[in-house]
A and B are shown apart, each in its own frame.
Chain A
């Protein structure tokens, strides 16, 4: 049971380049989300998904796209990277709250992204 995995661990992009941050979980969790962590600002929610085929925006969605074609995977796409997207990105998952009441979110190890 690997939990929540993220790839790559580190990435450097040039302004305008595109890339996809990968996130996968093997716990059959319905809920998945992406956060970014910036110094002095804690973590902020980018996008989230309550199940395959369903996504929604969080607090800071601009410049990012997501899709959820399977329960296991929730990739985050940067279509045209900007220096303001330099950050550490965390993926998280949890079981459905509808059926199971309170649930803990499980976080991946993070991807450190630098945009030059």
Chain B
């Protein structure tokens, strides 16, 4: 079945550092790919998405590119802030409309001032 694998956490960085969180997937078809973020004590929020190969999703300074050849969707940000501290989830959906999401295990990110 479909699966998503994220880099192991936790990840701790200093403010203004460059961030990469790796995400690879296994799917039978052509899934849509997502990054969700969970701030402490809250539910998940959609951070960005890409629905076809070579699409780049971006939001709040974060970017991820849908790479079909490497089945990857790595999350990047050029300069992280303390407010970016959260848990980040990579997810996919084979179904149009993102209705049945398959999540990775999550990566906890802590940014120190």
A-to-B contact residues, CB < 8 Å = 4, 31, 33, 35, 40-45, 48, 50, 58, 90, 92, 94-98, 100-105, 107-110
- The main secondary structure of chain B at its interface with chain A is loop
Contact B43 A108 (CB under 8 A): yes
Q: Evaluate whether A31 and B99 lie within 8 angstroms (CB atoms) in the complex, with A42-B104, A90-B44, A102-B32 already known.
A: yes
In the complex, the answer to whether B51 meets A97 with C-beta atoms within 8 Å is no
Counting chain B residues whose Cβ lies within 8 A of the other chain, the interface size class is 20 to 34
Pick the contact of A58: B32, B46, B100 (CB < 8 A).
B100
Task: Give complex CA distance A100, B95 in Å.
Answer: 13
Residue of A nearest to B9 (CB): A40
Chain B residues with CB under 8 A of A96:
97
**B105 contacts A41, C-beta separation under 8 Å:** yes
